[in-house]
Amino acid sequence: MGYYSDFYIDKTDIPYIEDVLSGITSYWRSGEDYVCEVKWYDWLTDLEEVAKLFPTSYLRIIRYGEDSPDISAAIVTDGKVKEVKPELVWPE
């Protein structure tokens, strides 16, 4: 068993980021800006490698879990990785 997620490159200034990611993890394919239905449990650790390689660049990858509303994003900037979650607000 396990938990599947989809990952999408939302925004970046890193050239050829798909190739960079495919060199770091076996989940990513060169030339694709997303991967679907994978169990990429070490995604934040793997993105730390990107942060080290590109300390002055920016990358945001959004993760959609298989259960709604499981969504988060990894922000790579200033040589660090931070996971952020959206704030869900019900209308009044």
pLDDT in tens, 38-89: 999 999 999 999 999 999 999 999 999 998 889 999 999 999 999 999 998 8
The predicted pLDDT at position 1 comes to: 47
Query: Would you call 17 helix, strand, or coil by DSSP?
Result: helix
Distance CA 3, CA 18 (A): 23
pLDDT reported for residue 10: 96
Residue 74 lies in a domain: yes
Residue 23 lies in a domain: yes
Q: Is residue 71 a contact partner of residue 83, using CB atoms and an 8 Å limit?
A: no
The pLDDT value given to residue 2? 63
What's the domain count of the chain? 1
The domain containing residue 44 runs over which residues? 5-84
**Per-residue pLDDT reduced to its tens digit, 15-24:** 999 999 999 9
- Would 15 be classed as within a structural domain? yes
pTM of the model: 0.90
Identity of residue 39: K
